[in-house]
Amino acid sequence: MLVLPLFLVLPIVASSVETCSLETKESLFFMGVEGNFNGDLEEAFTARLYKELKLEFVGKPVRSSITKERKVWAVRTDISSKDLAKLLKKELRKSGYKATLLNGTAFSLLTKTSGSTVHRTFRDLARAESKIWAFDPDSKSEVIWVFHESKYDSSKLRKALRETKLKLGFHHIELSLLADSTQSMEGLAEGVGESLDLVAVKGAEQGLQLDIYLRDIDSMMALQEVGDTVACPNVQDALIKNGPADLSWTVSLDNPGFPFAE
């Protein structure tokens, strides 16, 4: 990381620069579910979790390319990951469904590659490794999201991908953070940089510029913008840890290729 000097389905914002408040108590989790979703069972399943656990389903699920019995949802909630895992296990007991909270890792294509080659490569990886649940390539942005269990982390994914013909790099996005303060944030940059998985960070008057990796993400901040959900990497804890606790922040970001967008 380089420190530079000075049943409710909610819509999620598609690829475009969005500016919104960083204040939220809700997170977006990637929930992998295995079970029978034939006919109306998928709708009944999501309605049940909304009713019983107040989980808000964001966008459409990402489907496994290997089996019809695996899907990955983005769910919005103020429940912690630990408590959510316990509640899901209790709620789905003896129901024929099994839920697993997953991590997400995004890759960028470094060379022009056909969609069929991308699909075939990741399908083969998922077939060989059951801890890879699903993948979602976006042809426009050339970003591929992979949803995987935490025990099979991004370094193992990268190692497996090196054995293929795809030329990929870990995807990263830029965040522009602005504080409601006139003080310089240059001193905050180093501390934040040590707390986050960054390519680079730059402190400036009243704000920070972050270039952050999207890998091994177990949750994202669920921000709100005119009724839509904005998925933002979790930078709030790092800001609170390293800076004045009473600051309010706004963030501007573009997250092209993010699944679950409508």
The answer to whether residues 54 and 92 belong to one domain is: yes
pLDDT at position 262: 59
Asked, for residue 73, whether it belongs to a domain, the answer is yes
pLDDT at position 257: 93
- Residue 229: give the domain boundaries: 2-23+171-253
pLDDT at position 220: 97
The answer to whether residues 248 and 178 belong to one domain is: yes
The answer to whether residues 130 and 179 belong to one domain is: no
The answer to whether residues 96 and 111 belong to one domain is: no
pLDDT at position 182: 72
pLDDT at position 222: 95
Given 102, 126, 158, the domain boundary residue is 102
Residues in the chain with pLDDT values less than 70: 1-15, 184, 262
Q: Are strands 198-204 and 168-170 parallel, antiparallel or unpaired?
A: unpaired
Report field, pTM of the whole predicted structure over 0.75: yes
The answer to whether residues 67 and 136 belong to one domain is: no
pLDDT at position 127: 97
**What is the rounded distance in angstroms from the CA atom of residue 235 to the CA atom of residue 186?**
16
In the chain, how many domains are there?
Answer: 3
pLDDT at position 204: 75
CATH of the domain at 121: 3.30.70.100
From the list 220, 219, 214, 216, the residue with the least C-alpha distance to 198 is 214
What's the 3-state SS for the chain?
CEEECCCCEECECCCCCEEEECCCCCEEEEEEEECCCCCCHHHHHHHHHHHHHCCEEEEEEEECCCCCCEEEEEEEECCCHHHHHHHHHHHHCCCCCEEEEEEEEEEEECCCCCHHHHHHHHHHHHHHCCCEEEEEEECCCCEEEEEECCCCCHHHHHHHHCCCCCCEEECEEEEEEEECCCCECHHHHHHHHHHCCEEEEEEEECEEEEEEECCCECCEEEEEECCEEEEECCCHHHHHHHCCCCCCEEEEECCCCCCCCC
Asked, for residue 260, whether it belongs to a domain, the answer is no
Asked, for residue 262, whether it belongs to a domain, the answer is no
CATH of the domain at 52: 3.30.70.260
Asked, for residue 199, whether it belongs to a domain, the answer is yes
pLDDT at position 11: 47
pLDDT at position 193: 86
pLDDT at position 207: 87
Given 167, 184, 202, the domain boundary residue is 167
Asked, for residue 183, whether it belongs to a domain, the answer is yes
Cβ-based neighbour number of residue 169 at 10 Å? 10
The answer to whether residues 68 and 142 belong to one domain is: no
The answer to whether residues 7 and 31 belong to one domain is: no
pLDDT at position 15: 53
CA end-to-end distance (rounded Å), the chain = 33
Asked, for residue 176, whether it belongs to a domain, the answer is yes
The answer to whether residues 175 and 248 belong to one domain is: yes
From the list 100, 61, 64, the residue with the least C-alpha distance to 259 is 61
**What is the rounded distance in angstroms from the CA atom of residue 74 to the CA atom of residue 88?**
14
Asked, for residue 90, whether it belongs to a domain, the answer is yes
Asked, for residue 231, whether it belongs to a domain, the answer is yes
pLDDT at position 4: 38
Given 115, 132, 167, the domain boundary residue is 167
DSSP secondary structure code for residue 205 in this structure: B
Token pair, residue 149, equals 């269990």
pLDDT tens figures, 68-106: 999 999 999 999 999 999 999 999 988 999 999 999 999
The answer to whether residues 109 and 162 belong to one domain is: yes
The answer to whether residues 38 and 80 belong to one domain is: yes
The answer to whether residues 13 and 31 belong to one domain is: no
The answer to whether residues 185 and 225 belong to one domain is: yes
